[in-house]
Amino acid sequence: MSDQLLTELLASIEAGQPVALVTVVAATGRFAGSLGRRALIWLDRTTWSDTDSLGGLKDQLLQDARRCLASRQPQLLTYQLGDSRLEVFVEVQRRPPTLIIVGAGHVALPLAQLGKMIDFEVVVLDDRPQFANKTRFPMADQVLAQPFAETLRRWPIDGDTFLVLVTRGHSHDVESLLAVIDSPARYIGMIGSKRRIKGVFELLEKEQGLDPAKFDRVYAPIGLDIGAESPAEIAVGIIAEIINVYRGGRAVSLSDALRADRRLPLHPARQS
């Protein structure tokens, strides 16, 4: 690997930028000149300038490599054109996903602990310094005692961001959800009873003019349907749902179950 590629690769990893190292591992026929070539591919650019030997495969290769990067899956790509064969290994270098916990109350503490256990970068946000501090959340990578909406609007949210809204009140739910509803976040979950969530959605629809269809991406009520009651149990259900989304699992989210049948109680043992 050239010094330039190595420098750019290390810089991207350090900066938390998703990048793929692409290596031609086999090449015959018209592709023989590309054997051993390496490149760095980001979602929006590439360092691979010498692509003459790839011919018409250049665009297809870049598209396939970026798909690997977006899905966080390394892959051996194989192309065959007549008697010519090209094999390219795409090695994905991607930072851990980020869990942003909006609210630093009782559920946030076990949620931050579990988030670190599954190797997420954990950020805790609350506007109360007495709750949002490193003494209370020593396991978190960042603890921010800052305004909810303002901080969320300037945060670099991307497809590796998982947002959990567990604020202390209705008004904070509204401002936080409004700040992130159009973001590219992979996951947006919001805690609350069916009544509270309905109130948040109706308020955003009536006062902010939001299309109700946008709420379909919000996991609310949050978590998997495991009958959770205590803060720790609720946190387990939330993390399980996040893993389900992150890994493409088949478990049914509580929000999906309630959308299918609004008569279902939020908790199995009591009506909500």
CA angle 129, 132, 134 (to 5 degrees): 110
- HSE (CB half, 13 Å, CA atoms) of 157? 20
Q: How far is it, in rounded angstroms, from Cα 60 to Cα 66? A: 10
**Predicted pLDDT of residue 271:** 47
- What value does the mean pLDDT take over residues 148-169? 94
Q: How far is it, in rounded angstroms, from Cα 90 to Cα 93? A: 10
Block residue for tokens 């990578």: 141
Nearest-Å Rg of the Cα atoms of the chain is 22
Three-class secondary structure of residue 72 per DSSP: coil
pLDDT tens, position by position, 77-132: 999 998 999 999 999 987 789 999 999 999 999 999 999 999 999 999 999 999 99
**Predicted pLDDT of residue 194:** 86
Q: How far is residue 225 from each of residues 146, 173, 239, measured CA to CA in Å?
A: 32, 21, 12
| Residue 72: alpha-carbon gap to chain centroid | 11
- What value does the mean pLDDT take over residues 247-263? 84
Q: Which tokens go with 49?
A: 């300038």
Q: How far is it, in rounded angstroms, from Cα 66 to Cα 169? A: 40
Q: What percent of the chain has pLDDT over 90?
A: 58
Question: What number of H helices and E strands is found in the chain?
Answer: 8, 10
pLDDT tens, position by position, 30-49: 888 889 989 899 888 888 75
- What value does the mean pLDDT take over residues 233-238? 97
Q: Residue 272 — very low, low, confident or very high, per pLDDT cuts 50/70/90? A: very low
pLDDT tens, position by position, 60-75: 998 999 988 877 789 9
Q: Which tokens go with 111?
A: 């949620």
The average confidence (pLDDT) of the chain is: 89
Domain residues of the chain, as ranges? 3-93, 98-260
Q: What is the pTM of this model?
A: 0.73
Task: State which fold the 98-260 domain adopts.
Answer: Rossmann fold (3.40.50)
Q: Which tokens go with 144?
A: 């921010």
